[in-house]
Structure 1
C-alpha cells in the first residue's frame, strides 16, 4: 500500500516546513494521532504558545488541520497525511534552494534523534540493542543502479505500511522504529571507504557504532 502523502512544491511551504519544532510536531501527530497544542508542548518540552503558533503555520502549508469534532475547549490538531514528499531535483533554482534548506533541517533532526537514542540505548532491552546500530556500506553503482536500489528498498519497507494505518496489524512486541536511509557521495578526490577490502560486509561491520 502507499501511505497518504502531502507533496510540497512551493518554496515558501518547503522553507516553512524546514523548522525543527514543526517537523517534530508533524512527527508527533503522525505517531499519536490528534493532539492539542498543550499536550504537544508537554511531550516536546516547548511552550504552549510556541506549539500553537507552529501548528497554525503547518496548517497554512497544508501539513496539519483541526481534527473533526474539535470543540472550543480542546481543539486538537491532526496531520493531513502520513508522509511528506518533495522534489530534490527541480529545474527551479528557488525550489532547489528551498529543498536544500529542508534537507539540511531534516538531517539535523535525524542527527539529534540518533544522539538522543544513543544516550538511552544502554537502558534498552538486549534484543533491541542487538538490532539497532549504525553502519556504512560502500557501493560502486551507476545513477540508474542507485535509483533501482532505492526503489527496491522502498518496496521492502512498504510491506510494513499497513501497520502504520491499522494498529491491529502490529504484532506483539513491536515498536515504532525510525529507519533512516542516506545515500551520499564522497568528494571526488577522497579515498573510497572500503577500498581494497575483499569482503564488503566486514568493511561495513567495522564502521558500526
Structure 2
C-alpha cells in the first residue's frame, strides 16, 4: 500500500471502530487479516445529530465528486469495452413528479434490488462472483426540486 505497517494498522483499527471492517482470524499469530463489512453507504439519521447537516453536505459533495471522477474514467475506457457493457453503462437522468410516499417507495425499491446482489456477492468473496462479472459503481443522486412560480 505504500505506507508503514503501523500506519496501516492504525487506519484499519479506526475503520474497525466505526464498523467498516472487522478483524478475522489468520492462519498464524503473525497474520492479522481484516474483512470489509460494508460496500454501501447510507447517511440515514445523520441530520438529526449535532453538526449532522454539515457533515451530510460534505459527504454528499465527496460522493458526487467521486461519481464524476468514475464517469470521467469510464468515458476514457468505454471504447475498449464490449457493446453490451457500453449500452448499459453511463448516465441516465429523469425528471418525474412524485409524492413523498412515491419517492420513498422508489428509493426503497432501488435499495432492495441492489441489496439482493450485494448479499449474494460480498465484495471480498471471489467465489460468489459469476464468470464474466465486473465491479460496477452505482451512485443514485435524488434531488427534489423547489416548486416553480406556476406550481406555487
TM-score by length of 1: 0.56
Partner Cα separation in structure 2 for residue 180 and residue 58 of structure 1:
22
- Which residue of structure 1 aligns with residue 99 of structure 2? 142
Computed over aligned residues only, the root mean square deviation of the Cα atoms, in angstroms, reads: 3.1
Structure 2 spans left out of the alignment, 5+ residues: none
For the Cα contact (< 8 Å) 2:12–2:21, is it kept in 1?
Answer: yes
Residue pair 2:71, 2:90 contacting (<8 A) in 1 also: no
What residue number does 1:98 align with? 55
Q: Which has the higher contact order (CA 8 A, sep 6+)?
A: 1
Deviation at 1:100, TM superposition (A): 2.1
TM-score w.r.t. the length of structure 2 is: 0.73
Instruction: State the alpha-carbon separation in 1 of the partners of residues 35 and 78 from structure 2.
Output: 30
Flag the 1:156–1:75 CA change in 2: closer, same or farther, 3 A. closer
Q: How does 1:1-209 map to 2 (within 5 A)?
A: 41=1, 47-49=2-4, 52=8, 53-69=10-26, 71=28, 73-88=30-45, 90-165=47-122, 170-186=129-145
Q: Distance in 1 between matches of 2:29 and 2:66?
A: 33
Unaligned runs of 5+ in 1: 1-40, 42-46, 191-209
Contact 1:70 1:76 in 2 (8 A): no
- 2 CA distance for matches of 1:167 and 1:90? 36
Shift of 1:146: 0.9
Q: Structure 1's 111 and 74: CA in aligned 2 closer, same or farther, altered over 3 A? A: farther
The aligned length equals 146
